[in-house]
Structure 1
């Protein structure tokens, strides 16, 4: 997106430890962010193991890591396979129907609001998140129209306090996951040290929709997938 050129200052990124947000963190660092804060939020997701991967990424990049414990929020976010134990994680390749089970209501606005609050209070220049084109169909808060509306909203909500030229960065919003893998390869992202699986076990299950999407992205990118999956039998 043409507006996704941030000043070389302090960027607060909402991140999970997943493939997309880890690549985002490496991209921000390579693109010259003078200061990078990675905000990880435990909102009661069954795969909170992802946050340990995010912490390791922050150490590698010499970024500030903030982990917020909002695990009690899961009680407000019922109905999603990510936050509600009664809803199974759909297996296999995502369809529009099965992908709906993984929607966490209002998640990106919620997490971005936390990032913006921290950014405004510390004088940061931008917030960032890793939404990509594959999310657009089902996730309303991953679409370009959301990003533009959110930019306008926070400018009004923080008038007089927000840094001049403050940006909401979504640099991958027009990219496929395979393209993100290719970019991550150029940035030397250690993909083995990222977590995608929604089951939240000790290894990637290799069966859920997110694992299937991850496998497919590496295959389409023609990049070796270093992930250990339970379905590998190893």
Structure 2
């Protein structure tokens, strides 16, 4: 990512977005705003609570943006209560076909496209020249809006829609989850503050796709966070 003194971070409090926020600080950037979106997702309450704690820990401004009209899309199991989120044996993170099927279930129409455009508007208004989402190469295989290609294309579009030519940059876009955990461990991320789960509960469920990927990544990186999972 090109140097930028002032940045806006998309902070869902998940593994990827949290590590990017900490890495931005390490690189000397001023986070003028950490944005968390409430779009009716099942984990909204815990994401908001966790993001607020992380922002306070980093001493950066935090804002929750409510997007209630996401419910009109009526598509994703993350938004629609009568649709089941794939869990347990329904999720096979090393099976490309199964991963594609589970991705369809939790896909939210144009979510990251909308998020980046909102963040870019805040960035322009606050004099920031970059927005930083939490993308990774592992999930980009089934979620194309996590890919570097999407990020670079978004930057091209923002060149026309923002007067200060806001760019999109991400420190983890080339990394798999295990490498992101290692990076975060080196940055001293307080893992108990993050929320990588698709659900709101007392602990990370350990069964949804996001939890399963996180579980494997922490184990592979030899970082013990077993106590944070409900089912390990």
Same-fold call, TM cutoff 0.5: yes
Alpha-carbon distance between aligned partners in 1 of 2:74 and 2:210, rounded to the nearest angstrom? 20
Match of 1:199 in 2: 199
TM-score by length of structure 1 reads: 0.90
Matches within 5 A, 1:121-160: 121-158=125-162
Match of 1:16 in 2: 12
The number of aligned residues is: 223
Match of 2:37 in 1: 41
Unaligned runs of 5+ in 1: none
Q: Deviation of residue 167 (structure 1)? A: 2.4
String of CA shifts for 1:190-223, please: whole Å, max 9, x gaps: 1111111112222211111111111101111122
Give the 3-state SS of the residue equivalent to 2:106 in structure 1: coil
Q: Deviation of residue 99 (structure 1)? A: 2.4
Give the 3-state SS of the residue equivalent to 2:231 in structure 1: helix
More helix by share: 2
TM-score by length of structure 2 reads: 0.91
Match of 2:96 in 1: none
Give the 3-state SS of the residue equivalent to 1:230 in structure 2: coil
Alpha-carbon distance between aligned partners in 2 of 1:35 and 1:139, rounded to the nearest angstrom? 27
String of CA shifts for 1:153-180, please: whole Å, max 9, x gaps: 010122xx215xx421122111001000
Give the 3-state SS of the residue equivalent to 1:98 in structure 2: helix
Answer yes or no: is the 8 Å Cα contact 2:138–2:176 preserved in 1: yes
Unaligned runs of 5+ in 2: 94-98
Match of 1:189 in 2: 189
Answer yes or no: is the 8 Å Cα contact 2:39–2:71 preserved in 1: no
Match of 1:120 in 2: 124
Answer yes or no: is the 8 Å Cα contact 1:12–1:128 preserved in 2: yes
- What root-mean-square deviation, in Å, do the aligned CA atoms of Structure 1 and Structure 2 show? 1.5
Match of 1:79 in 2: 75
Match of 1:162 in 2: 164
